[in-house]
Amino acid sequence: MHRRNFLATLGALVTAAAPLRAHEETAAVAGQLSQLTKSGNGDNRATYMPDGKSLLFVSSRSGRSQIWCMDPNTGAAELVRESKANDYGRVAPSPDGSRLCFSSDRDGENAIYVLDLKIGAVTRISDPAYWSFGPTWSSRDLIAYFSKKGGNRINTWTVRPDGIAAKQITNRPGESRQPWWSPDGSTLALSADNGTGAFQLWLSAEDGSNARTITREGNWQQPFWSPDGKRIAVSAKIDASAFRILVMNADGNDIREIAQPENTDNVHPAWSPDGRSIVFTSGEGKSGALWRFAFAD
């Protein structure tokens, strides 16, 4: 798990990282903002299917949290597969779009599952004894998620889609959560607080080695890579009262803000496969709705 190497480099990395000063001006990105769903259904955590033609998201519009699929151009939405449990969290498709990984409480404790869309088979791939959430599926066919298993409050794990070879890849105080794979599957971006409650963005290799932080101040959550691997979208609270969607270079530089609703939390950004737009959730709980920012040509 490379835990010793991971922890040994922590002090040097924090010292060496270039700080982001909270008072720095954040440049705006040119583009157009539009609302995809109405508030009141708790629509949240959208992710594009690999072909870019539809959005996966979770919603309580049917009475409990379920996985939905929507055409982002028409707004037409349908249940992916009805469940008697609560299926929620970010839903991540396999590279070919034939399977989905997601979080569910269908076996009691919340765990990670894989759904085969063709045959409808559902396989649990995390330890049912420990709360687990937020899976992401890499182009190298490896799933990462975060869990209460392994000591600390929350740790990041990886596992094969069949549930084999589970490996804890973080072991730091507090929470290491919300991992998301780079397009080539070589690097994870995640949010970690080292027990302080203030989350920063970290990058590491798939086994947890070569960990380094790319932010220093504020509260940074839910990183999501651009399809070319050059930028990361993130929800951050720096000097504002609410979380804002920002985009930055993969080294943490050139931070910019997209157009988004004011005076509310904007969270869970997800890049489209063609790199031309970002979808995100605006609002909390039942008031949450999906929005899209389209970059100017």
Write out pLDDT tens, residues 208-267: 999 999 999 999 999 999 999 999 999 999 987 899 999 999 999 999 999 999 999 999
Task: Answer yes or no: is 188 within a domain.
Answer: yes
Domain annotation covers residue 23: no
How many folded domains does the chain comprise? Answer: 1
Residue 21 included in any domain: no
**pLDDT above 60 (res 23):** no
pLDDT higher at 3 or 133: 133
Asked whether residue 22 is assigned to any structural domain, the reply reads no
Over the stretch 259-294, which tens digit does the pLDDT of each residue have?
Answer: 999 999 999 999 999 999 999 999 998 999 999 999
Question: How far is the C-alpha of 154 from the C-alpha of 174, rounded, in Å?
Answer: 7
**24 belongs to a structural domain:** no
- The CATH number for 99's domain is 2.120.10.30
Q: List, in sequence order, every residue forming a beta bridge with 190; answer none if it has no partner.
A: 202
In a domain, 60, yes or no: yes
Question: Residue 218 burial (CB < 10 Å; 0-12/13-18/19+)?
Answer: middle
pLDDT the model gives residue 25: 58
Rounded Cα distance, 126 and 274, in Å? 31
Structural domain contains residue 25: no
Q: Is 180 a domain residue?
A: yes
Cα 225 to chain centroid distance, Å, stands at 9
Range of the domain at 202: 3-16+31-295
Distances from the Cα of 293 to the Cαs of 55, 261, 280, in angstroms?
A: 14, 11, 8
